[in-house]
Amino acid sequence: MEIYGGLPRAVPEDVGISTSRLARIAPVMQNYVDNGKIPCALTMIARRGKLVHFEKFGMQDIVAAKPIQFDTIFRLYSMTKPITSIAVMMLYEEGHFQLTTPISEFVPYFKDMKVYTEDGSAIVDAEREVTIKHLLAHTAGLIYESDRDNHPIDQRYEDADLYGGDLASMIQKLGDIPLLHQPGDAWHYGMSTDILGYLVEMVSGMPFATFLRTRIFDPLGMHDTGFSVKVENADRYSKVYEFAENGNLQQIEKVHAATGPLSFFHSGGGGLQSTAADYLRFCQMVLNGGELDGVRLLGRKTTELVTMSHVPPDWLAPKRTGTSFGLGFSVVTNVADTHTIGSLGTCSWGGMASTTFWIDPVEALIGVFMTQLVGADSPFQAQFRTLTYQALTE
């Protein structure tokens, strides 16, 4: 059987998908490219462990008129987080800690944390320790932005220059900043997963990047995934774009958290670069219950735990209606409330440059969408999902 894009390729009808209905994807994506709404798109769909759709549109470098390729390398940004979370759960399975273990047992900077009061006018003692589960579920009180007007925590994060050193210095700086809320009392997306990357270093005794490469990427055959791009692969590395004031796409010259032209900060929350095919292999491992091609990273029950709801859905509303959060993934808890086609238990996440994926355990279905556009406000991700599901026939 032909292997293409990391998985065996199949005729769509062999896995209950209509070829003619899949053909609806291409004109929609091409229209986004032609109208200057995205620089490029790479779309992948797999069902029952077989690849049924892999198409590309647009340019990975607009100025050089260089088309996107099937092996183009993309900045994952926050699609790093699910990978880091799986790394943590691998160590959990080895008996190094429990989910309720305080992170301070491994990272002393988070002992005796302080917390802002709700209005930010005062700082009080944390009522409980930050646990590993708080970090996995983003309920620790760490942030990217507070979403609160003139809250002092935002200035503290800005002043800290978190990416100005190495991973250890980042974590130490985070430990000096009070939490936005009491640990375990609310969901707030933020830098929790960066701390988990440091936890992997402390527990495994090896650099975070080395752990990911030797324990996840090499075993799964994800050879184009890492915190840097090999010089010989530089021509496969996509540029990243944003919208200029005139509404046209423009290349971002200074990319967030980049440590060089081909490398990113070794951050558990957003430093990896990868291909769509590599990421599909990671997704298939999760869908398979922790195993792919004879390589088992997690046990079946652990994978179930990772991809189930751990946060009250109303904590994520109104931005993410119909979803909860697992241990590194968003999880669908009410399909109707998501306002799109899907299944209960579907887990997913995305990245700052408009990349996204989803894993549907009910339909044994995976979708991966890659582009490189920061600040996008467009339904192309949701439309790709709709166009995928409408093609199912079985």
pLDDT digits (tens, 9 = 90+) for 56-88: 999 999 999 999 999 999 999 999 999 999 999
**pLDDT level of residue 377 (50, 70, 90 thresholds):** confident
Q: What is the DSSP string of 65-123?
A: TEE--TT-BEE-GGGHHHHHHHHHHHHHHTTS--TTSBGGGT-GGGSS-EEE-TTSS-E
Residue 149's alpha-carbon distances to 38, 120, 154, 219, in angstroms, are 31, 10, 9, 46
Q: Which of 370, 374, 385 is nearest to 68 (CA)?
A: 370
Structure tokens at 235: 């021509």
Query: Can you give the pLDDT at residue 139?
Result: 98
The contacts found for 63-70 with CB under 8 angstroms, 24 or more apart, are 63/239, 63/251, 66/235, 68/40, 68/41, 68/42, 68/238, 69/236, 70/5, 70/42, 70/275, 70/276, 70/277
Average confidence (pLDDT) over 20-29: 98
**pLDDT level of residue 20 (50, 70, 90 thresholds):** very high
CB 192 within 8 A of CB 128: no
- The CA-based angle 285-291-296, given to 5 degrees, is 130
Q: Give residue-wise pLDDT tens across range 82-108.
A: 999 999 999 999 999 999 999 999 999
**Residue 228 pairs with which residues in a beta bridge?**
263
Q: What is the mean pLDDT of the chain?
A: 96
Amino acid present at 350 = G
Average confidence (pLDDT) over 211-231: 97
User: Rounded to 5 degrees, what are φ and ψ at 367?
Assistant: -125, 135
Stated pTM of the model = 0.97
Q: Is 293 exposed, middle or buried (0-12, 13-18, 19+ CB in 10 A)?
A: middle
Q: Where are the alpha helices (DSSP H) in the chain?
A: 19-22, 25-34, 80-93, 132-137, 152-160, 167-175, 192-204, 208-212, 218-220, 276-287, 300-306, 335-338, 380-389
Average confidence (pLDDT) over 328-357: 97
Contacts of 391 (CB under 8 A, 6+ apart): 12, 17, 18, 21, 22, 24
Query: Can you give the pLDDT at residue 2?
Result: 55
Q: With 70 as the cut, is the pLDDT of residue 3 above it?
A: no
Query: Can you give the pLDDT at residue 6?
Result: 75
Query: Can you give the pLDDT at residue 317?
Result: 77
Average confidence (pLDDT) over 173-193: 97
CB 290 within 8 A of CB 303: yes
Question: What is the set of domains in the chain, with CATH numbers?
Answer: 3-84+208-389 (3.40.710.10), 97-204 (no CATH)
Amino acid present at 23 = A
Average confidence (pLDDT) over 312-322: 89
Produce one character per residue of 20-55: b if its CB has 16 or more CB atoms within 10 Å, e if not.
ebbebbbebbeebbeeebbbbbbbbbbbebbbbbbb
**pLDDT level of residue 1 (50, 70, 90 thresholds):** very low
